[in-house]
Chain A
Amino acid sequence: MDIKRVAWSNLWRNRGRYLAYLGSAAFAVMVYFLFNAVVLHPDFQSGYRGARYAVAAMRAGAVVVAAFTFFFLLFAHGSLIRFRRREFGLMRLMGFTRGQLVRLLLWESVITAAASLAVGSGLGLLFARLFFMAISVILDLPEPIPVYAGAPVWLRTAGVFGAIFAAVSLQSIGEVMKHSIAELLRSRRRTKEPPTYSRGKAVLGTVLLAVGYAWAALGDQEHMFLASMPVTAMVSVGTYLLIHEGSIALLNRLRRNERGFYRPVPFLHLSQLLFKLKDNARTLTSVSLLVAVILTAMGTIYSVYALAREDALRGQVHSLEIARFGAGAADLAAEAEGFTMLLEDQGLEVPHHWSLLTAWADLSSQDLMGSVILVPYSIYRDMREAAGQPALPAPEPDDALAVGFGPVSGANPQPYVLTLEDQRLEGLAHVDEGRSLFYLQWALVVADETFARLTAQAPEDRRIALAAWDTSPDLGRQAIAAHSAVREHVDTGSGDVFLSRAVRYDDQVSQWSIVLFMAVFASLVFFAACCSLIYFRLSAEIEDDRRYYRRLSDLGVGRDLLRQVNRRQLVTLFFVPFLIGSVHFTFAMRALSITVGYSVIHYGWLMALGYLVLYALYFLAVQGFYWRSLRLGG
């Protein structure tokens, strides 16, 4: 029998253990393949609408997926190899030379790498059509993008993952070679130590978590970003210590409570939990942190997406705005009439339209300081009426209304000074805390006569013309088409400003949808890793569990009770880390809310719910499978 055949039969014999490893590797290959099919798509280079975002998002996603997969496979393969140490020890004992063992491990790696690459790329090819169709829908393209899976995609996928597999295989060869035959043979015969814990470590874990949480929940906006690193470190270490030490303390306590403990299910469940804790702690910690990372990353991206959408809706005051500065400003009013007709020709209704030739001035008061545009009271009142918002009463000739500054802390009204070249106006400014009048936020509303007097003498370089339309509909394809028709006539090259809510909204939505779409795929790679970590743990435990349940069965413990105990074991292994991860994530979202100055926790929870459903399905599948694998007989 040659080495290659031995490698095959080794893998086949260990197929149960390798299943999760190969599955998550193949899944990562598939996602990487699909991302690169977008990044390297020739049509995307020439530019669809939104193609730039798609390429950038997929490129970033591919890097993240490759980097994560590298570390995950390193870890996963390391534990598989450790599990098989005894097997390698026996081979050495039976006369395998070191060289032969290295060749054997290399063959195994070649086979697993080839299998993952073939299956992953194959799935990539299979799903490419769906993937591109989804992107076409998200980017709202008139025709679907043609499927692309050219040689560069295959080469890059094979190259990057080939390198990853090579590194993983070198590491495992090193791991096997560094032990003597005796050590290899001994390594499986482990006896589990009785569960003891250090009070100091448990307290340290609690303190680290508490401080991390408090920092995330109570920090201020300015320093939150800087705080994210130490908070993450504290929470990670705290989680490990608390799972490792704290839960021993907790379980020991429960165990001492005879009334609660001396009942069939808790008796068997809690004692098993405690017994396996040392072995499970690492998995529980990794899964908790991975869950926290997945939820936080997805929660953040989803929040940004939702905020961007909301910002596009609310951030712009009118459906359409055009501004022109300086010498040509005076012509805009006449052109604007034409634009109104153009919009109506395109099938839009234009219930409101304003055109204003005005000027910049410098405002200074206790709380209000800066350049403002001057607005006559009549237009202010008209706009407030159109928006269904209350308008303040008309100011006295020298007084004014300050709009767009938001709430002020000082007196209201407060004295102000306005200067426009050599003109000067002094009086009382009443602050209107309502929304802005134009995209240029700060405005000072004065009486119509005052407005006419001030702007008449404004020098040319202070002049500014503003035109605004409220259209119906103001979102969607028709609005985009009509607004874009207007844009054709606006010379943004010479400094005109053109703002369309429909175009901006569409831009934001497709830009962030594509990021969100990419992130969902990338997160699934993390998610698959999470699931395989649990699978590894279970496959490492199954022999012990089989013996344990058989013993109980021989002693006359009924199947119902065994099933109940087993289900509880799995529920704990699955959902305790998910719960811990969710708590971390809630604090992370709280910190994000502080950073962006807006509560985003509900967006995050919406996202988390989706993952919980996915996770629960995995749990149900594994639970049934595991119970059958225990083969307790009927």
Chain B
Amino acid sequence: MAAANPAIDHDAHDDHDHKPEGFLHRWLFTTNHKDIGTLYLVFSLLMFFIGGSMAMVIRAELFKPGMQLVQPEFFNEMTTMHALIMIFGAVMPAFVGLGNWMIPLMIGAPDMALPRMNNWSFWILPFAFFLLISEIFMPGGGPQGGWTMYPPLSLEGGTNVAFMIFAVHLMGISSIMGAINIIATILNMRAPGMDLLKMPVFVWSWLITAFLLIAVMPVLAGAVTMLLTDKFFGTSFFNAAGGGDPVMFQHIFWFFGHPEVYIMILPAFGIVSEIIPTFSRKPIFGYQAMVYAIASIAFLSFIVWAHHMFSVGMPLGGELYFMYATMLIAIPTGVKVFNWVSTMWGGSMTFETPMLFAIAFVILFTIGGFSGVMCAIVPADFQYQDTYFVVAHFHYVLVTGAIFAIMASTYYWLPKWCGNMYSEKWGKIHFWSSVISVNVLFFPQHFLGLAGMPRRIPDYNVAFADFNMISSIGGFWFGASQLIFVGVVIHAVYFSKNRATTQVWEGAHGLEWTVPSPAPHHTFTVPPVIRDDVLAHGDVTH
């Protein structure tokens, strides 16, 4: 909660709104989208550090062959928790926080559509993660079956099974309510003139992401509920002896799981689609194509799930279908990449930190996408599956994809949130340190995977030693680099003397740049009048 921002408090004086007095009162009871957005973002940062620390344990144990630090059980626990915390605790809440902060500002709404529920969506999360993380201290430790929770293994856990499942339920409730709120806000709260096809791409990306969330989080809830009853109430969903099938869980899980990975990337696409035009000083290339591409990706995400299960022994027809369907995703994604490049082409670019992160995003995400397409090719995936090649794939799309986009957006919007500019110098240091180390961290993992190193193992043959050591060094370096990020943010919020202007960035367009920096506690209490030149989204004719 450190980001409680004195600058905003100052503003309250000339901002005749009834901001609640008192720290607890303000943050526990708040219904203000900006406060809730801040809560989400701070929570997410905290979780990123906790999940990251677990990754550091993983990397430390894998630093060299031989078991040095932890027992294998604990290693598996770290892997599982790392993934759950990063996905549900860091990336998703960060996006919800950004959505909370920016969507009302971008569409000219006074707040989110359902402000009290908005508060609840957030305040469920700390409790969910309290439940999840406290498992580490329970007898038998936390879950050790991987974030994918495949039975029968995941049911072998002790105390943790029930708590993990309930924690997932809580996260689901939180996400669903958050998503409902976002959809209602976007569909119902737009200022007059903000037509759907004039909304910023970020808003579009969130509209579609919210739909994905509502469609798949309940499926995950159903899947883990069946785990629960299989464990405690004698059902046989995932037990062949009773006529069920362990593979059934995988189908249901990935029906959730694949859309889930796009839930973690579509808002990132939206963010990058805001930042690149701003710093290229040129409107986004092919606005409508961008929107339709997001929609196509979302649609396709529902029909490709079994590409995570190529080696479970599906019939030939199934393998072929899921291969083709998965490969198709490269096309709308390619459209997005090409449009970003075209936006830059012919622009007048400057390279502030947000832009650097956005450019790194485009390049590194594309590399992750390439390895994704390679994974989609079934015969090759027989070799890649469950190796570090896959680990490299998804960290490229998640870390240099989702996380980089979140960092880019933080630099981009921070001046609007707190009214001060961050230190450009330290921002750039953070960027270069991160972008180099993250490649040292994850690129060698491709080699490891191709050479045959399975994932989720605490120890390995000596042939894998060199690249693992390099990867670990990259890991520690990347982790340490994130301390710079925290420094930059704290400095900007509390110490920076460099006041931000209303517009903040020279090339910025859109409603969010018409409110003062920092954005007052309440904005657009009267719907704004929208002029085409501030709108600048969609195919506006100039």
Physical interaction between A and B: no
| B-binding residues in A (CB < 8 A) | none
